[in-house]
Chains A and B, each alone.
Chain A
Amino acid sequence: MTASAAPACPTLVVDRLKIVGVPSMAVIIDEISLEVRPGEILGVVGESGSGKTTLGLALLNYCKSGTRVDDGSVTVGNEDLAKLDWRAVRQLRGRTVAYIPQSPASALNPALRIGTQLQECLSGSAETVLSRVREVLREVALPDDDAFLQRYPHQLSGGQQQRVAIAMAFVARPALIVLDEPTTGLDVSTQEHVLRTVRDMCLNYRCAAVYISHDMAVVAELADRIAVMYSGRVVEIGDTADVLADPRHPYTRRLLLAVPDLEARRPMLGIPGHAPSPLARPTGCAFAPRCPMAEEHHATEAPAPVDVGPRHTVRCHKAHLRLPPVSVSELPRPVSAAAAGQPVIEVRSLQAGYGPIRVLRDIDLSVQAGECVALLGESGSGKTTLSRCIAGLHTDFTGELLLDGDPVPASSFKRSRDQRRRIQYIFQNPYESLNPRRTVGELILQPLRALHGRVADPAEVVARALEQASLRPDHAYRYPAQLSGGERQRVAIARALAAEPEVLVCDEITSALDVSVQSSLVELLRQLQSRMGLTLLFITHNIALVRNIAQRVAVLEAGRIVELGAVEDVFARPQHAYTRSLMQATPNFQLPPGLHTPVVSTATSDAR
């Protein structure tokens, strides 16, 4: 799919672009140089805080308030964006450069009909405008009749909204299109459709595209070229095939290894350490503190870009060296407990809903002690409602909920202390689930104090919980705002562990976090399961995660469990059409062999 254009005239040229915060002068992105040719899709991959959205907006000659371009230039076609006056910039946006933001729901004006929104960027006679609008709607596989043009955004599904946003971007035949995580928040099947639309449209229009994403699997499937961003710089850029086959920057490789394998044939690997804060980017190589090959002077000397192949550039002091293999030791996989024995949690013919709306029907599920059961489903399938029923946070349900064979009241307020202790719940978003006005230590003690009143030795309890969640002892005195997303989620896990639970209900606990953090959290949970014999109920929409952590899986569709069984069986021989369609829609991200050498050890290696 690589464009066969004359390589001499790229659509977009970014040259040593530098954007700083005002008035702090903190460097947000620096020394960004890249080019995109007509019909080419450049995937920009990076974790949160790497500056990828700032870069995307700069391509529209837009800087968020509190930031400004300090150096460098952005050239689209033959025009240097910095030299345009505001009138020309207005002409540029939407016509020469189009933007598709992350959330289609907030990108479309809820008060305007679809037809009106699509016509906004066009000028000319009413007839030509309308026929152009219909044409572009057909191209994104939406209906083009008057009834559809009369609709409002809220009358469309999320996927349709995103396709309208794509149509809006392409309607004026732009030369360059910037997509900022356009599929985040969409279900895999919708995502697949949107991605295909984007690719077809770019090819049709010979339009250059910059696709910003944190999801390596998506970018690998879509993009012709990949730029990997770390701490405000592009650390590696090259053709997708080259970067995937032979990543030359250590960060790129760790990022690739952090993507969970759909078939769970290799273990998930997080990246140790933290990315530097965007407020204090280091002068030297930003990856040095996490890099196995780093030497002392790397922390102060910025590496220069090195060409390692055709259109393949790496910013690393040791770009010429082969990367040493990452050695991996694997925990023994807990085998599924024998079906005999009393299940810890049993749900019988559960029906739940919100008022008159039923979201769960006839749910029967049992979880054995020590196993990990995954609830797999897309948004709206009722998986979170089911987990909240079990945790006592959703009381509008009928049916039986048994803990060790004893019925449990619906509301957590009506449950006994012991029942509350035994089931602990971890929320999806660690930015929401920790009270910002309490220190980590207080947060960890909170459930204990609620359950037992006074805690005999609070310092020791906190220290132990922090250690179990792989946090440092001094984290106890921090506030949540001082922690990264992954650390916050570890605090939430530590809080749950401090209560000494038997069942841990994890509701999409990695979906708000970066992929490198996700891997280490999953590793932590697996470790807890095998060491402490914890029972896990793991709610997710991600098949790869299910295969990496769970022993059994329940697939939920529209409030019903459509398939339930051992993970290997379900994914090897999916019985239900829905399971099959889910598996098909998920991008299957395969790494070339030799990127890692797994050292599988059967003995449980001692953590720290």
Chain B
Amino acid sequence: MSAVPVDIAAAPAAPTVPVQGKIGLLRRALQRKRTWIGLVLSLLVLLVAFLGPFLTPHSPTAFVAPPFTPAGSEAAAFGTDILGRDVLSRFLAGGRTLMVLALLATAVGVGLGAAIGVIAAYLRGWADEVLMRTGDVALAFPQIVLALLFLSIIGPKLWLLVLMVALGHLPRVARVVRGAALSVVERDFVRAAESVGIPRWRIMLGEIVPNISSTLAVEFGLRLTYSIGLVAGLSFLGLGLQPPTADWGLMINENRIALTVQPWAVILPVIAIAVLTVGTNLVTDGLAKAAVGSDSGVRA
């Protein structure tokens, strides 16, 4: 007879609880209809943006017919724009840059913002104060004003556009992430890691970040929605891509005076941007709803 009533001998199947991980989050999000609708809408626009440049009937910069040719004409299915270029071709070619810029800006902004948030939450003390108070100052400026200021001083460079949109996200992301990380930092497994001397940066990456992954996913989706709007807006204001390049923001700006004569050159990019924004928002919403309770309070 064993000295200890060991669990092994008589143990039936131990209570099994489904693992909650990143996969679990996505699966739970996909149980909601809104996530599916959002995914379909976003993918639709993404397909147009990334495959479109290969499907243009004409060169997006070539003059194919007189200006303001109405839609349905033989030369141009959606008519021509203010300079006589094919609207459909410009629409198909003009989305890719917007997508790439928005994704880049979001990745940079959320990445850096998350880093700052986690560092502030973990180190606390003066580092927390300095980081978060600086963020508060940055928050005082509307995101687009800050971008306008630097873009008009330095000039409409694409890298600057990405950087400015990213910097605009930074303090906002940092706040949210810090809040989520604070509850994780207080938990004992972080103390356990400290007691065996795991370096602080590895504690942040290995112990804290995996436990706020749902927050990060939600934050990425939300900021992507904002990025799309901001990049398109800055292009519209002439601070993004320069003419004669095809670009959705530029298209809206160039053709808005002719809205009553030839509306398609404005309507097509507007619909695309609107659908994409709604789509990413719905996906984010689904993720956020699935993430409730999955990060901080994982208890049996």
Residues of A within 8 A of B (CB): 269-274, 276-277, 279-280, 289-290, 327, 329-331, 391-393, 412-413, 415, 417, 420-421, 424-425, 427-429, 431-438, 446-447, 450-451, 470-472, 478-479, 481-487, 492, 495, 499, 519-520, 523-524, 527, 604-608
A392 touching B195, Cβ below 8 Å: yes
A520 touching B15, Cβ below 8 Å: no
A608 touching B8, Cβ below 8 Å: yes
Alpha-carbon separation in the docked complex, A433 to B298 (Å) = 12
Q: Which of B188, B193, B198, B211 has the most CB of A within 10 A?
A: B188
Give the residue name and chain of the A residue nearest to B9 (CB). Answer: A272
B211 touching A290, Cβ below 8 Å: no
Chain A residues with CB below 8 A from B298, complex form: 436, 481
- Whether A427 touches B15, Cβ cut-off 8 Å, given contacts A413-B197, A523-B4, A607-B2, is no
B7 touching A274, Cβ below 8 Å: yes
B194 touching A393, Cβ below 8 Å: yes
Q: Which of B249-292 contact A (CB under 8 A)?
A: none
A272 touching B5, Cβ below 8 Å: yes
- Please count the residue pairs between chain A and chain B whose beta carbons lie under 8 angstroms apart in the complex: 156
- Whether A446 touches B5, Cβ cut-off 8 Å, given contacts A276-B12, A472-B11, A483-B14, is no
Alpha-carbon separation in the docked complex, A412 to B200 (Å) = 12
Nearest Cβ on chain B to A425's Cβ, whole angstroms: 5
B300 in contact (CB, < 8 A):
yes
B10 touching A290, Cβ below 8 Å: yes
B187 in contact (CB, < 8 A):
yes
- Whether A279 touches B15, Cβ cut-off 8 Å, given contacts A412-B194, A446-B196, is yes
Residues of B within 8 A of A (CB): 1-12, 14-17, 19-21, 187-189, 191-198, 200, 207, 210-211, 213, 298-300
Alpha-carbon separation in the docked complex, A331 to B20 (Å) = 41
Alpha-carbon separation in the docked complex, A479 to B21 (Å) = 10
Name A437's contact: one of B15, B21, B188, B299 (CB within 8 Å): B21
- Beyond the given A435-B210, A437-B211, please list 6 additional residue pairs across the A-B interface where CB-CB is below 8 A: A429-B188, A433-B191, A479-B19, A495-B192, A520-B7, A523-B3
A436 touching B211, Cβ below 8 Å: yes
Nearest Cβ on chain B to A427's Cβ, whole angstroms: 4
Name B194's contact: one of A274, A413, A605 (CB within 8 Å): A413
A437 touching B210, Cβ below 8 Å: yes
Alpha-carbon separation in the docked complex, A432 to B7 (Å) = 22
A484 touching B14, Cβ below 8 Å: yes
- Whether A450 touches B192, Cβ cut-off 8 Å, given contacts A435-B210, A524-B4, is no
Give the residue name and chain of the B residue nearest to A605 (CB). Answer: B3
Chain A residues with CB below 8 A from B196, complex form: 412, 420-421, 424, 446-447, 450-451, 499
A427 touching B191, Cβ below 8 Å: yes
B195 touching A273, Cβ below 8 Å: no
Name B16's contact: one of A277, A427, A495, A523 (CB within 8 Å): A277
B299 touching A273, Cβ below 8 Å: no
- Whether A331 touches B3, Cβ cut-off 8 Å, given contacts A429-B188, A437-B21, A446-B198, is yes
Chain B residues with CB below 8 A from A499, complex form: 196
Summarize B's interface: helix, strand, loop or mixed. Answer: loop
Q: In the A-B complex, list the 4 residue pairs whose CB atoms are closest, starting with the nearest.
A: A277-B15, A447-B196, A433-B188, A273-B10
Name B2's contact: one of A424, A425, A432, A605 (CB within 8 Å): A605
B193 touching A446, Cβ below 8 Å: yes
Alpha-carbon separation in the docked complex, A432 to B298 (Å) = 9
Chain A residues with CB below 8 A from B20, complex form: 436, 481
Alpha-carbon separation in the docked complex, A437 to B193 (Å) = 14
Q: Which of B2, B6, B210 has the most CB of A within 10 A?
A: B6
Interchain Cβ contacts under 8 Å between A and B, 15 examples: A272-B6, A274-B12, A277-B16, A329-B1, A413-B194, A427-B192, A431-B299, A435-B211, A437-B21, A446-B193, A492-B192, A520-B6, A520-B7, A607-B3, A608-B6
A470 touching B10, Cβ below 8 Å: no
Give the residue name and chain of the A residue nearest to B193 (CB). Answer: A446
Give the residue name and chain of the A residue nearest to B211 (CB). Answer: A437
Nearest Cβ on chain B to A596's Cβ, whole angstroms: 13
Chain B residues with CB below 8 A from A432, complex form: 187-189
Nearest Cβ on chain A to B219's Cβ, whole angstroms: 18
A605 touching B1, Cβ below 8 Å: yes
Name A420's contact: one of B10, B19, B197, B300 (CB within 8 Å): B197
Q: Which of B16, B20, B195, B213 has the most CB of A within 10 A?
A: B195
Alpha-carbon separation in the docked complex, A325 to B21 (Å) = 46
A274 touching B299, Cβ below 8 Å: no
A272 touching B7, Cβ below 8 Å: yes
Alpha-carbon separation in the docked complex, A413 to B187 (Å) = 18
- Whether A420 touches B195, Cβ cut-off 8 Å, given contacts A433-B189, A435-B211, A484-B15, is yes
A520 touching B5, Cβ below 8 Å: yes
A431 touching B300, Cβ below 8 Å: yes
Nearest Cβ on chain A to B187's Cβ, whole angstroms: 5
Give the residue name and chain of the A residue nearest to B187 (CB). Answer: A432
Chain B residues with CB below 8 A from A435, complex form: 189, 193, 207, 210-211
A273 touching B11, Cβ below 8 Å: yes
A527 touching B3, Cβ below 8 Å: yes
Alpha-carbon separation in the docked complex, A289 to B11 (Å) = 8
Alpha-carbon separation in the docked complex, A499 to B189 (Å) = 16
Give the residue name and chain of the B residue nearest to A330 (CB). Answer: B3
Chain B residues with CB below 8 A from A495, complex form: 192
Chain A residues with CB below 8 A from B189, complex form: 432-435
